[in-house]
């Protein structure tokens, strides 16, 4: 999804402000995957930027539902197309995320996303209940399998939408590329999803921030809920305060609950998740927005490999919940 709710606190702050480490950490930045990106690391130059952008274009050619000739678009049209490594790897992350969250994060719910106006073609007309009930029968990762490098469907009408994890997955791909070049100290950010490598040469961790989840906060970094310091970790956030439309006076957020077939409405306003993989962090952040705060906390108790920072509403007031390790990373909490 087009989630800009997690934002790198400006490269100047991310690189330590005016400290001496700045000179050792140039950055490259631009536009890709329909959003912005930043890569900060030693040796970031025009050549690296060209290589990174070509890499992101290859991932987009595999996973973008907005590219009619991408692998995912072609399999959605039931064409006989060989799957590339990006598709297969992302598919497995999506399959596991669906299993672990009992379908709360479901790349196989593409027909529902499209019906609510959050597919390749956006609109602002909610579907009728009869249409929702019909489309729910086509959703679920159990409708798909990878066999002999092809995607096999149990129903040809089933379709995939990897938007909930595609940006996080692309962050991982770029990070692995940097590591293959023996670059271990880096920060990669795409559309607000972040992965950090080792600490900077001065020994300091990378500083990133979480936006305040409130309607009207459309400028990343303008109003911050808090900041954290991390290294060797990936972080992603999902929220409903930037991508939505209003129909007959009702707010329709982009987070769709595959179980009910309707937009998720609960007290959770944003979910920031940290994991070893940005794709995994992205998937669980999306799932938590569907599940709500209480169910998210219960899942976090079962999955101690995840860390999270939840912002929710309680009796009209903003409240936060942080796992113990995430709490130790917080250097500022404005709620």
Q: What pLDDT was estimated at residue 217?
A: 52
Both tokens of residue 236? 């992603």
**Of the candidates 151, 148, 53, the residue with the CA atom closest to the CA atom of residue 108:** 151
Q: What pLDDT was estimated at residue 20?
A: 29
Burial of 45 (0-12, 13-18, 19+ CB in 10 A): exposed
Half-sphere exposure of 17 (CA within 13 A, CB side): 1
Q: What pLDDT was estimated at residue 210?
A: 87
Q: How far apart are CA 76 and CA 151, in angstroms?
A: 10
Q: Quick one: how many helices (H) and strands (E) in the chain?
A: 10, 18
Q: What pLDDT was estimated at residue 4?
A: 32
Q: What pLDDT was estimated at residue 56?
A: 97
Other CB atoms within 10 Å distance of the CB of residue 15: 22
Q: Which helix (H) or strand (E) holds 188?
A: strand 186-190
Overall pTM surpassing 0.85 (yes/no): yes
| Full pLDDT tens readout for the chain, 335 residues | 333 333 344 333 333 332 223 345 789 999 988 889 999 998 899 999 999 999 999 999 999 999 999 999 999 999 999 999 999 999 999 999 999 999 999 999 999 999 999 988 888 899 999 999 999 999 999 999 999 999 999 999 999 999 999 999 999 999 999 999 999 999 999 988 999 999 987 889 999 888 888 766 555 566 788 899 999 999 999 987 667 888 888 888 889 999 999 999 899 999 999 999 999 999 999 999 999 999 999 999 999 999 999 999 988 888 999 999 999 999 988 88
Q: Supply the DSSP string of 95-107, one letter for each residue.
A: HHHHHHTTTSS-G
Both tokens of residue 7? 């934002």
Contact 237, 3 (CB under 8 A): yes
Q: How far apart are CA 77 and CA 66, in angstroms?
A: 13
Domains plus CATH for the chain? Answer: 1-335 (3.10.520.10)
Q: What pLDDT was estimated at residue 246?
A: 87
């Amino acid at each position: 999804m087009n989630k800009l709710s997690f934002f790198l606190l400006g490269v100047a702050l991310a690189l330590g402000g005016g400290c001496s480490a700045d000179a050792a950490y140039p950055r490259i930045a631009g536009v890709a995957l329909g959003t912005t990106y930043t890569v900060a690391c030693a040796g970031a130059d025009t050549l690296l930027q060209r290589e990174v952008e070509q890499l992101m274009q290859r991932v987009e050619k595999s996973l973008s539902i907005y590219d009619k000739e991408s692998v995912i678009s072609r399999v959605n049209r039931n064409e006989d197309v060989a799957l590339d490594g990006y598709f297969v790897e992302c598919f497995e992350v999506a399959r596991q995320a669906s299993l672990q969250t009992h379908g709360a994060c479901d790349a196989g719910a593409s027909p529902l996303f499209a019906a609510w106006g959050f597919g390749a073609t956006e609109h602002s007309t909610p579907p009728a209940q009869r249409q929702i009930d019909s489309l729910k029968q086509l959703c679920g990762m159990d409708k798909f399998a990878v066999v002999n490098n092809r995607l096999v469907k149990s129903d040809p009408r089933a379709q995939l939408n990897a938007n909930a994890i595609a940006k996080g997955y692309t962050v991982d791909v770029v990070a692995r590329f940097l590591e293959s070049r023996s670059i271990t100290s880096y920060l990669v950010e795409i559309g607000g999803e972040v992965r950090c490598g080792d600490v900077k040469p001065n020994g300091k961790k990378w500083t990133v921030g979480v936006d305040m989840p409130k309607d009207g906060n459309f400028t990343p970094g303008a109003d911050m809920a808090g900041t954290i310091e991390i290294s060797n970790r990936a972080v992603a956030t999902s929220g409903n305060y930037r991508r939505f439309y209003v129909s007959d006076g009702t707010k329709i957020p982009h987070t769709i609950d595959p179980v009910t077939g309707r937009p998720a409405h609960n007290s959770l306003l944003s979910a920031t998740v940290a994991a070893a993989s940005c794709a995994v962090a992205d998937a669980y952040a999306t799932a938590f927005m569907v599940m709500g705060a209480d169910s998210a906390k219960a899942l976090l108790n079962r999955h101690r490999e995840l860390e999270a920072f939840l912002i929710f509403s309680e009796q009209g007031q903003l409240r936060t919940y942080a796992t113990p390790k995430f709490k130790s990373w917080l250097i500022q909490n404005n709620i």
